[in-house]
Amino acid sequence: MLVSAFTFAQQALFGGAGIVSPEIHPDNTVTFRISAPKAVKVQVTGDFLPTMKQTVKFGDTVMEMDVTGVADLTEKDGVWEYTTPEPVAPEFYTYHFLIDGQRVIDMNNVYVNRDVSTLSSILLIGGGRSDLYKVNAVPHGTVAKRWYTQDGLTRRLSVYTPAGYETSNKRYPVFYLLHGMGGDEEAWLTQGRTAQILDNLIAQGKAEPMIVVMTNGNVSQEAAPGETSAGFVPPSMNLPKTMEGSFESTFMEVVKFIDTNYRTIAKKQGRAIAGLSMGGFHSKFISLNNPDTFNYIGLFSAALGVTDPSISPIYMNEDAKLKTQFTKAPALYWIGIGKTDFLYAANKAYREKLDGMGYKYQYLETDGGHIWRNWRIYLTEFTPLLFK
């Protein structure tokens, strides 16, 4: 019995024989494998598929890959296998399997990301921009999880400090980076690759050394799911106090905490704010109501036109507040959106409004929709423009 237990422990520790998946080949084609000997049909799907344009043939099976498609796998002795017919473009990807319609992660890949309540396996194809998403041999910053008080609740945020912060006496500018609906203070670190992007851009001399603060925009929530006194509650997108003014009206408590506890450049010229989707909505109204606080504003696929302005003074008198904000001349007002994003029309209407009022901004339009691939691009494009 002891020998059997020890053998089982060894297999659990070292993974046994194992199956290699994903296997990235020298030409950047990728093979996915999973053991499912009793399955009738196994499929793989992920955000690498939009990079594939060719028809894939396996025996009598012909599947056209597109942005919503899946690829049938071929069965080999209970191990189902699929190799992409062409190289996968450099990027940070998520994927999963469907076994007879049941979604599962790749059990042979220990690397996974959580997006609200969904787990996905991940892989990174290096090259080009995606090299910014890798851990490279450069000086590394530090990520800390800090507890503070906002809106009367003890809450947690994540703080990136650049390499050399601990050993210097200098003051640093601060970039407040906000997540989207259902996200939390971990989202930009895990899916956005923020620490890797900042390390690499700073090391390359393309970005100024800066502090990056990643808050939890769900004011009813202490911290990320499973990290609170509520215990292991299921993650949810349907949280109270997200887009009704509470977060925006108390955000200066975050700024005060950071300025009190870190060596910051505590003035408008030393502060930036940006966010994706709901975080873009928050960034717009936080900066709109605090025109003397933030000199750089970024709206990444911002959730515009989704809230009744009458629910909070934060959202009222937008035109008058915009006039004040742009009269005070922010150094940068930046908007990014994907061509097929469901928020494209709302962002276009907002840009037309700014154009009509004569307010200057920078604009980037990318392929794709409401996806992390775009938000990582926006972060790599926006960050080098800060604090110059």
Q: pLDDT tens, 80-91?
A: 888 888 899 999
Whether 2 is covered by a domain: the verdict is no
Say which range, 48-57, 245-254, 274-283, has the weakest mean pLDDT. Answer: 48-57
Shared domain for 294 and 170, answered yes or no, is: yes
Which strand ranges, in their side-by-side order, compose the sheet holding 296-300?
A: 142-150, 153-161, 211-214, 174-178, 271-276, 296-300, 332-338, 362-366
**Using CA atoms, how far apart are residues 357 and 321, in angstroms rounded to an integer?**
12
Contact 158, 256 (CB under 8 A): no
Task: With a cut of 60, say whether residue 370 has pLDDT above it.
Answer: yes
Instruction: Point out the domain boundary residue: 125, 150, 177.
Output: 125
Whether 221 is covered by a domain: the verdict is yes
* Segments of the chain assigned E as strands: 23-24, 30-35, 42-46, 55-58, 61-64, 71-72, 74-76, 79-83, 91-99, 102-104, 112-115, 118-125, 142-150, 153-161, 174-178, 211-214, 271-276, 296-300, 332-338, 362-366
**Using CA atoms, how far apart are residues 200 and 135, in angstroms rounded to an integer?**
8
Whether 193 is covered by a domain: the verdict is yes
Shared domain for 65 and 152, answered yes or no, is: no
Task: With a cut of 80, say whether residue 284 has pLDDT above it.
Answer: yes
pLDDT for 252: 97
pLDDT for 66: 37
Mean of per-residue pLDDT scores for the chain = 88
pLDDT for 40: 83
What percentage of residues in the chain have a pLDDT greater than 90?
68
Contact 150, 254 (CB under 8 A): yes
Instruction: Point out the domain boundary residue: 125, 151, 178.
Output: 125
pLDDT for 8: 42
CATH number at residue 90: 2.60.40.10
Q: Which of 321, 317, 319, 288 is nearest to 302 (CA)?
A: 288
Task: With a cut of 50, say whether residue 69 has pLDDT above it.
Answer: no
Count the domains in the chain: 2
Positive or negative, the CA dihedral 371, 376, 381, 383 is positive
Reported as half-sphere exposure (CB side, CA atoms, 13 A), residue 350 has a value of: 24
What percentage of residues in the chain have a pLDDT greater than 70?
89
Residue 31 domain boundaries: 20-125
| pLDDT bucket at 10, cuts 50 / 70 / 90 | very low
Task: With a cut of 60, say whether residue 189 has pLDDT above it.
Answer: yes
Shared domain for 77 and 158, answered yes or no, is: no
Shared domain for 228 and 284, answered yes or no, is: yes
More confident residue, 222 or 128: 128
Say which range, 13-22, 230-239, 363-372, 378-387, has the weakest mean pLDDT. Answer: 13-22
10, with CB counted inside 10 A (0-12, 13-18, 19+), is exposed
Instruction: Point out the domain boundary residue: 109, 125, 141.
Output: 125
Average pLDDT over residues 321-347: 97
Task: With a cut of 60, say whether residue 55 has pLDDT above it.
Answer: no
φ, ψ for residue 132, nearest 5 deg: -70, -20
Shared domain for 361 and 222, answered yes or no, is: yes
pLDDT for 36: 86
Reported as half-sphere exposure (CB side, CA atoms, 13 A), residue 166 has a value of: 8
**Using CA atoms, how far apart are residues 47 and 94, in angstroms rounded to an integer?**
6
More confident residue, 57 or 336: 336
More confident residue, 148 or 101: 148
pLDDT for 76: 65
Tell me which DSSP letter residue 314 carries: G
